[in-house]
Each structure stands twice: as C-alpha cells, then as structure tokens.
Amino acid sequence: MSEFDVGLPSIRLIQSFIKDKTEVELKLIGGEVLEGLILWQDPDCFYFNDEGEKSTLIWRQAVAYIKPID
C-alpha cells in the first residue's frame, strides 16, 4: 500500500475540497467528466458522489485532473 503523505500540497488541497464540500469537476484519463463531491480519499482512491447522488470509487491513476467548479 502507498504511504499517505498529508504534507503534500495536492493532498491538502483535496482535503480542503472534502472539508468545505466544494463541488469539483473530475476528468478521467478515458475522457469521461464527472461533477460532484469527493467524500474521502486514501492513498489509492477517491470516493466520489456525483450530481445524481451515485457514489463511485475512483482509482487515483484513472484521474487526469480535478478542479473546483465556480
């Protein structure tokens, strides 16, 4: 299992999205774009809840980018 370094800026940014319940756009490397909330993260995955309240476990390697929705 990967070590989870909470000192990394990327981890802290995602944690702020989770804490503040910031809606994000998450693009997968396959081209699919999801909008919703990241509920939690661990060293390997994000647990994501889309606009339709469907929850999905997403591997970090599958993500092209994550950005907040204005």
Specify the 3-state DSSP secondary structure of 5.
coil
pLDDT of residue 9: 93
Output the DSSP codes for 48-70: EEETTS-EEEEEGGGEEEEEE--
When the pLDDT of each residue in the chain is averaged and rounded to a whole number, the result is 93
- pTM for the model stands at 0.88
User: Quick check: 4 pLDDT over 80?
Assistant: no
For residues 68 and 1, what is the distance between their CA atoms, to the nearest angstrom? 28
- Tens digit of pLDDT for each residue in 20-51? 999 999 999 999 999 999 999 999 999 999 98
**Strand-pair category, 55-59 with 63-68:** unpaired
Which domains does the chain show, CATH number per domain? 9-68 (2.30.30.100)
Neighbours of 62 (CB within 10 A): 14
Mean pLDDT over 15-21 rounds to: 97
